[in-house]
Homo-oligomer: A and B are copies of this chain.
Amino acid sequence: MPTQTDLNLRAMQLLKEDAEKIAQLIAVQLDNLTLPKCPLYEEVLDTQMFGLSREIDFAVRARLVNRDEGQQIIHDLERKLADLYSKILP
């Protein structure tokens, strides 16, 4: 039977993996030259970010992750996306 610490670590790992999947999805879209100003692109990103934020909010309320750690996952993902844009935009 896993301990609480195992559950907390697993929760953080899952959230980080989900954030990484979003970054990869966006990287693939950018590689395929879909412009970041394209409405469909923005909708995909909004939907994915909404899904991740709901997961994180749940994990915080379930006391698996503290609020700062949860916020950090979103911040890290936003920074990663900004890096991706800066590579393709003038």
Question: Looking at the complex, which one of B18, B54, B63 makes contact with A7 (CB distance below 8 Å)?
Answer: B63
A37 to B14, CA, bound (A): 37
27 A–B pairs (Cβ distance < 8 Å), ordered by A? A1-B4, A2-B63, A4-B4, A7-B7, A7-B63, A7-B64, A10-B62, A11-B62, A14-B58, A14-B61, A15-B58, A18-B58, A47-B50, A50-B50, A50-B51, A51-B51, A51-B54, A52-B54, A54-B54, A54-B55, A55-B55, A55-B58, A58-B58, A58-B59, A59-B62, A62-B62, A64-B64
Given A7-B63, A14-B61, A62-B62, 4 additional A-B pairs, CB 8 A: A4-B7, A52-B54, A58-B58, A62-B64
